[in-house]
Amino acid sequence: MSDVSAETKLSELSAKVDDMVLGLKWMFALLIILISIPNIQIALTISWFAKVFVEVLPGQPLPLLTSTLITFSTFFCLLAFVWPILGLLNVFYGKSPRIWMIWSAFILFIIGFQLVLTYMGCFMPLFSGIVAPEGEGSAK
């Protein structure tokens, strides 16, 4: 009699764990999608920023990060689309929850890192030319 009860409790526990794992999969998938949206948007605007830099900062050298982004803009756009696809494939086709959670967290970090680098590279030249007026901020 206790064996039947133990099997019933084990199957109930297994069903609860499966529901929890499914909830985690959807949470990771949502996080990957939400972080990827701004990453894709900024990656698609790199060429627009390049045109702005040519018009606004003629003849001025661009920072290394900015010139790298402009030179390899197609590659960065491709990466912006590839990371979420890899992340979603990892989440929904990963077998071991521990492994796909670790890889999903790593992919989320990579997406965020690319997002920060792209923002920095696109906006750095616009703010590097800002200088305080001579009377302000100078010690006399």
User: Following DSSP, what letter does each residue of 33-52 receive, concatenated?
Assistant: HHHHHHHHHHHHTHHHHHHH
pLDDT digits (tens, 9 = 90+) for 55-78: 888 888 889 999 999 999 999 999
Computed over every residue of the chain, the mean pLDDT equals 87
Which residue's entry shows tokens 């001579």?
A: 134
Task: Answer yes or no: is 64 within a domain.
Answer: yes
Position with higher pLDDT, 139 vs 52: 52
More confident: 47 or 4: 47
Q: Which residue has the higher pLDDT, 79 or 10?
A: 79
**What SS3 state is found at 16?**
helix
In a domain, 13, yes or no: no
Question: In which band, very low, low, confident or very high, does the pLDDT at 132 lie, cut at 50, 70 and 90?
Answer: very low
Measured from the Cβ of residue 49, the count of other Cβ atoms closer than 10 Å reads 20
Q: What is the pLDDT of residues 80-105, one digit of tens each?
A: 999 999 999 999 998 888 999 999 99
Helices (H) and strands (E) in the chain — how many of each? Answer: 5, 0
Round to whole Å and give the CA distance between 4 and 57.
Answer: 77
Predicted model pTM: 0.79
Asked if residue 98 belongs to a domain, the reply is: yes
- Domain of residue 41 covers 25-126
Q: How confident is the model at residue 41 (pLDDT cuts 50, 70, 90)?
A: very high
Task: Work out how many domains the chain is built from and give that number.
Answer: 1
Paired tokens of 90: 């990892």
> Is 16 or 4 the better-scoring residue by pLDDT?
16
